[in-house]
Amino acid sequence: CPDYTEQGDPELQSASGSSKYGSLWPLPQKVQISDVSFRLSVSGFRIRDAKESSAGPSCSLLQNAYRRWGCTSLVHFWMTSLFTFYLLGLETFSQLVYEDEYGAKSINSSVISDFPRFAHRGILLDTSRHFLPIKVILANLETMAMNKFNVFHWHIVDDPSFPYLSRTFPQLSQQGAYHPYTHVYTPADVKMVIEFARLRGIRVIPEFDTPGHTQSWGKGQPDLLTPCYSGSTPSGTFGPVNPILNTTYDFMKQFFTEVSTVFPDGYVHLGGDEVDFSCWKSNPDIKKFMDQQGFGQDYSKLESFYIQKLLDIVTTTKKGYMIWQEVFDNGVKLKPDTVVHVWIGGGSNEEMGKVTAAGYTTILSAPWYLDYISTGQDWQKYYKVEPLSFNGTEAQKKLVIGGEACLWGEYVDATNLTPRLWPRASAVAERLWSSKDVKDISDAYNRLTVHRCRMVRGIPAEPLFYGFCPHEYKGI
């Protein structure tokens, strides 16, 4: 049995505190672990490409993974146990290894056949409310791989700050970042994140959220945002992106062309959430435009007008796009392969039904807003979510390609992000990877406590309940 055990949770009535699946997390689709154990020779053990393998020594992604425990590059700071492999099967293999009562590295004869239930398993991090040093992003990418997450949804800019250093519009971060040198992501930083993620099987989907959530864009790009009015004079404040100026669309074309070359993933996230109409309503030029277009008093038509043009622009850059649910809810005309991101709590099941009934690919975040914290074992409520529990046909359910745990940044930065995200996000990881009928909370607790202690050897994943890890976290 694995060496690392936390105390059983009496509420979960897990007397022995250990699972027959050891500490596998997320639980594979098919697992058979026998009682026959083997030892791993510390000096002699090797990981090699099989003769028949289509990947060989030139596949740096794999070679890198084999070697990672000895890697002394920028990722060395979590060098811990001898076997820390991060690609899917390598990760599972590493989870099967345990120390017997003599401390000998051991593994039991096993047969595992595995694949994810959902293809899109993501984490959203917010680098606008608080700048996140690259080190923190990389450490969390590493931890995502340990949990078989495969999408990093980078909510990179928003109202408070614009840390993305654009080569086409450098003034955006020059004026809009918290600090133009110390609190920006340079092209080199972004490249590093993308490659680091790729080596771990993680897609990087950037989100440039418009037309709302754009206060910081206006600092370096005057005339981009709508000037709000107090009666007949400008009030000095600004609202969402100004949808009636041609310059807006010229800017967006150039900007998203750059984005499409910087970020290699097939998709970008365009946001489109929480657009406050009050500034538009106050602006006389906009009111005139509304009349000209025959939109009446329906400002969601103006929002649709903007989004439509934006989607067309992004389409020409040959990217697919993801948008928050409001864009769908407000009746915007979307391409068939648009991914709709359901986030609004309370009624999300209904929304899932509507979005899939309309034929759109969907991802779910509503029940997984990890920035909402509370005392106690809230991982359990994330674990118990069933993404396909809405009323719909089989065809509809197939349109749900996965979900994302979101960690919005109002109250989160380098000081507290990692323990707030892990192991709570691990609950979401299993829900998105493992089979629908993997629901035994007691067994999950027994595996997750050990999985958590495994992460602790370098990653400050917080405890589930009272207990201990043989090797406690060494930082403060």
Residues in contact with a copy of itself by the rule CB under 8 A: 7, 77, 128-131, 133, 135-136, 139-140, 160-161, 178-179, 182-183, 371-377, 409-420, 456, 459-468, 470, 472-476
Distance in Å, CB of 136 to a copy of itself, minimum: 5
Q: Containing H/E element for 289?
A: helix 284-293
Whole-number Cα distances in Å, 19 to 14, 27, 447? 9, 11, 6
Nearer to a copy of itself, 151 or 412 (CB): 412
Tokens at 356, concatenated: 């899939």
Distance in Å, CB of 468 to a copy of itself, minimum: 4
Q: What are the phi and psi torsion angles at 458 (to 5°)? A: 130, -30
Residues 156 and 207 sit within 8 Å (Cβ to Cβ): yes
Nearer to a copy of itself, 145 or 290 (CB): 145
Distance in Å, CB of 186 to a copy of itself, minimum: 16
Nearer to a copy of itself, 90 or 461 (CB): 461
DSSP code string of 35-66 = EEEEE--TTT------TT-S--TT-HHHHHHH
Distance in Å, CB of 184 to a copy of itself, minimum: 12
Angle at 272 between CA 270 and CA 275, to 5 degrees: 155
Whole-number Cα distances in Å, 39 to 42, 45, 102? 9, 10, 11
Outline where DSSP puts E strands in 53-188: 98-99, 105-113, 120-126, 151-155
- Catalytic site includes residue 350: no
Distance in Å, CB of 457 to a copy of itself, minimum: 11
Catalytic residue among 11, 274, 350, 386: 274
Nearer to a copy of itself, 236 or 296 (CB): 236
Nearer to a copy of itself, 125 or 311 (CB): 125
If DSSP codes are grouped into helix, strand and coil, which group holds residue 146? Answer: helix
465, exposed or middle or buried, with CB in 10 Å at 0-12, 13-18, 19+? Answer: middle
388, exposed or middle or buried, with CB in 10 Å at 0-12, 13-18, 19+? Answer: middle
SS3 sequence of 413-471: CCCCHHHHHCCHHHHHHHHHHCCCCCCCHHHHHHHHHHHHHHHHCCCCCCCCCCCCCCC
Nearer to a copy of itself, 120 or 130 (CB): 130
Residues 6+ apart with CB under 8 A from 312: none
Distance in Å, CB of 376 to a copy of itself, minimum: 7
Nearer to a copy of itself, 114 or 159 (CB): 159
Residue burial 162-195, b: 16+ Cβ < 10 Å; e: rest: bbbbbeebeebbbbbbbebeebbbeeebbebbbe
Distance in Å, CB of 201 to a copy of itself, minimum: 21
- Of the candidates 90, 77, 94, the one whose C-alpha atom is nearest the C-alpha of residue 133 is 77
Residues marked as catalytic: 274
